[in-house]
Amino acid sequence: MNKTVIVSNRLPVDLKYVDDNLVAKSSSGGLATGMKSVHSEGNGIWIGWSGLANEDMSDIQKLEVDAALANEKCVAVPLSHTDIDNYYYGFSNTALWPLFHYFQAYTEFELSHWESYVEVNQKFADVVLENVNDGDTVWVHDYQLLLLPELLRKKNPTLTIGFFLHIPYPSYELFRTCPWRNELLQGMLGADLIGFHTYDYARHFISSVGRIKDVEINFNEISYGNRIIKVDSFPMGIDYNRYHNAALEHDKYPEDSKSELMKSIDFHNRSNDESKLILSIDRMDYTKGIPNRIKSFEYFLNKYPEYKGKVRLVMLAVPSRENVAQYQLLKRETDELVGRINGDLSTISWTPIWYFYRSLPFDELIDLYVSSDVAMVTPVRDGMNLVAKEYVATRTKENGVLILSEMAGAAKEMHEAIIVNPNNFDQIADSIKMALEMPAEEQKTRLEALQKRISRYDVERWAGEFLKALKVAKEAVPVQVAKKLTPNKIEEIAQHYKTATKKLLLLDYDGTLVGFKNNPSEARPTQELYDLLDKINSDENTEVAIISGRDRKTLEGWFGHKNYTLVTDHGAWLRKIGEDWAALDHLKSSWKENIRPVLEAFTDSTPGALIEEKEYSLAWHYRKADAEMAALRTMELKHVLKSLLFNNSLSVLDGNKVLEVKNSNINKGRAATGIISNTKYDFIFAIGDDWTDEFMFEELPETAYTVKVGNVKTVANYFIKDNTEVLGLLQRITTL
């Protein structure tokens, strides 16, 4: 039976040597909970770093660690201190983390860090590949492993690979600054499904892919090589019941079993009838907006001094990545701010900020959640933020108010919170006041709505939805019929060419015989091309046919003096060798007067776009336009054209960076049929790169050799990498 393998930087097991004895404790973090059923199912395993560096363990200890992990169905990726320094603290946390959270000034691109990132991703790949069988599913997590999907796919294409990013995906403008942007995208595109917390992150990712890679994008589907990759949003939830039930239990604690923290909170609550607690919980990370939160609390106290002596900010900051310089600076800044504000405002009976720089056990975390009247979750950038959801889950008495930053992914689904801009202190101050004064009824209404959503879309549901979508994504992959044209096959075609008695070569022009130019008029044939075509055309019983979307005038200008068969305007006109031009259909072109102004309007508003007018069609080229703007405009234009093309006589061809309006009954398939209908060819070879060439491939007999330029979805039998290979290929086929 196939299994599911989870891969993340860290394993969900905490390992520690206590007095030389190994203690393994399974983690209860969000991800571990969400994956519980996936992980425990069948022979599923989790692969990641154990948290212990190679050098710190003896050989015996390594075996001991592996055995302890095996008990938990985990497999370790062995990493050294250098790996951790360069791959984890280095590239992951001083390049990717700040870059993806819009902290460009903190982003350091170090070659040695990048090299280590590549190496460690390969180490992960090696361990995964050792532990999977064909057909297994692998779910890769987070920014530390962006290269892994591709590394796995390359070695084992039978795997179903999912990737989920837990942090934001930045806009292209930020992402493009990364020197290894291409490699990173390439790595991610090894997956069948790429998931993000929000639609915006997915949109940014698709935009980067569209601008950096040469791929076809259709809404949330990317056609890459012979695969379709789905991109979607899956907002991660929490283990709702765990938090909710813990909060219900909390109320039953006898006085003497209360933690020191809880006793202090009780003391605070008793000190004043109007006393209130505002909660803040995060890892000590510059993305979490801790200094801003402290400053906005100070701003609140100064703007509404009546709250001095009554309201406290309880701030838990959990130590994190302490050996990265920016985290040390943040810690210092936070210490100083708290010190200054407490120094300025404290009274004998009141300290405005209670600040804890440590991690608390789960029960004490619940103490904090349950005891706080308001939670301030105001990161400057956050992929999702689970603290916001956990706070809501613990509000079993239907009271409490959440102030949530619009920069957290969670804000996209927690509309009933008070949503703030974390940089707007005035707005935050007013929001704190509003939260503190919110009528009980309103608190209840807001919380009920939040709880309903968060309990329904919990972490297990999140994992389930992702895996369901992954299965669908894998199944959606088209069956690849086109095979790469191998040297052996080329040899075989050449043999056939040599012995055949009546030969036809149907050759698309742009993107096939010549590369694309920004302006279509620049793509003139080269002398090399003329020489090759002349040579082929002069072979006995051999007919060269150029079958193009170009207009008759252009093609005649370039090839009129040659003795080739010419098809222009996607098949509207045909000139057989030695014959005159003949229209393949009786066509009208009066419709152009209505469509041209529409295209002109879109050209005006899309810098770089241009119109090409052909006898029977109008083409709107956007190769030179900004990719994202063009994507938007083509969508609009298609919509407008569709509403104008009220009868079936016109259709819109969606070509390679071109939209072309033409008479419906013209296509290269009909033209090809026209050419072969009266002659018995025993060798037909057709080659083209475009969507419009698919008609030609489709109509040709099964014995024809059909070749697509570019490894994309096609009905052709074979494909080659790109148009730089075309002339060499023609040369080899026709010269034996």
Determine if 162 is a binding residue for ligand GDG (CB under 6 A). no
Question: Nearer Cβ to ligand GDG, position 280 or 617?
Answer: 280
Among positions 342-381, residues that touch ligand GDG (CB under 6 A) are 359-360, 362, 365
Determine if 676 is a binding residue for ligand GDG (CB under 6 A). no
Q: Least distance (Å) from ligand GDG to the CB of residue 243?
A: 8
Q: Least distance (Å) from ligand GDG to the CB of residue 349?
A: 27
Determine if 459 is a binding residue for ligand GDG (CB under 6 A). no
**Rounded CA separation 29/13 (Å):** 10
Question: Nearer Cβ to ligand GDG, position 382 or 694?
Answer: 382
The candidate with the shortest Cα–Cα distance to 115, out of 47, 205, 190, 183, is 183
The candidate with the shortest Cα–Cα distance to 380, out of 459, 312, 296, is 296
Q: Least distance (Å) from ligand GDG to the CB of residue 30?
A: 5
Q: Least distance (Å) from ligand GDG to the CB of residue 466?
A: 12
- Partners of 683 in beta bridges: 503
Q: Least distance (Å) from ligand GDG to the CB of residue 390?
A: 5
Question: Nearer Cβ to ligand GDG, position 244 or 668?
Answer: 244
Q: Is 661 helix (H, G, I), strand (E, B) or coil?
A: strand
Determine if 566 is a binding residue for ligand GDG (CB under 6 A). no
Q: Are 372 and 280 in contact (CB under 8 A)?
A: no
Determine if 318 is a binding residue for ligand GDG (CB under 6 A). yes
Q: Are 43 and 3 in contact (CB under 8 A)?
A: yes
Determine if 170 is a binding residue for ligand GDG (CB under 6 A). no
Q: Any idea what the Cα angle at residue 211 is, between residues 207 and 216, rounded to 5°?
A: 80
Question: Nearer Cβ to ligand GDG, position 168 or 210?
Answer: 168
Alpha helices in 538-591 (DSSP H): 552-559
Q: Interhelix angle for 290-303 vs 425-436, to 10°?
A: 70
Q: Are 313 and 354 in contact (CB under 8 A)?
A: yes
Determine if 166 is a binding residue for ligand GDG (CB under 6 A). yes
The candidate with the shortest Cα–Cα distance to 150, out of 113, 110, 202, 187, is 187
Q: Least distance (Å) from ligand GDG to the CB of residue 382?
A: 4
Amino acid at 8: S
Question: Nearer Cβ to ligand GDG, position 195 or 571?
Answer: 195
**Rounded CA separation 149/90 (Å):** 21
Question: Nearer Cβ to ligand GDG, position 382 or 510?
Answer: 382
Q: Interhelix angle for 362-371 vs 240-250, to 10°?
A: 70
DSSP secondary structure code for residue 105 in this structure = G
Q: Least distance (Å) from ligand GDG to the CB of residue 152?
A: 22
User: Which structure tokens are listed for 634?
Assistant: 């083509």
Amino acid at 121: N
Question: Nearer Cβ to ligand GDG, position 89 or 564?
Answer: 89
DSSP secondary structure code for residue 524 in this structure = P
DSSP secondary structure code for residue 526 in this structure = P
Q: Are 689 and 516 in contact (CB under 8 A)?
A: no
Q: Least distance (Å) from ligand GDG to the CB of residue 98?
A: 12
The candidate with the shortest Cα–Cα distance to 33, out of 18, 19, 46, is 46
Contact pattern from residue 380 through residue 399 relative to ligand GDG, giving x for each residue in contact according to CB under 6 A and a dash for the rest:
--xxxxxx--x---------
**Rounded CA separation 723/713 (Å):** 16
Q: How far is CA 458 from CA 237, 354, 461, 554, in A?
A: 4, 31, 5, 62
Determine if 30 is a binding residue for ligand GDG (CB under 6 A). yes
Identify the active-site residue in 508, 551, 690, 693: 508
- For the CA atoms of 540, 542, 546, 552, the dihedral, rounded to the nearest 10 degrees, stands at 70
Q: Least distance (Å) from ligand GDG to the CB of residue 568?
A: 56
Q: Least distance (Å) from ligand GDG to the CB of residue 247?
A: 13
Question: Nearer Cβ to ligand GDG, position 253 or 362?
Answer: 362
Among positions 488-527, residues that touch ligand GDG (CB under 6 A) are none
Q: Which residue has the tokens 């974390």?
A: 422
Among positions 247-306, residues that touch ligand GDG (CB under 6 A) are 281, 283
Question: Nearer Cβ to ligand GDG, position 142 or 693?
Answer: 142
Answer yes or no: 682 catalytic.
Answer: no
Determine if 236 is a binding residue for ligand GDG (CB under 6 A). yes
**Rounded CA separation 4/464 (Å):** 12
- Half-sphere exposure (CA, 13 Å, Cβ side) for 594? 13
**Rounded CA separation 159/179 (Å):** 29
Question: Nearer Cβ to ligand GDG, position 153 or 242?
Answer: 242
Burial zone of 85 (CB within 10 Å; 0-12 exposed, 13-18 middle, 19+ buried) = middle
Binding site for ligand GDG (CB under 6 A): 30, 166-167, 236, 281, 283, 316, 318, 359-360, 362, 365, 382-387, 390
* Residues designated as active site: 508
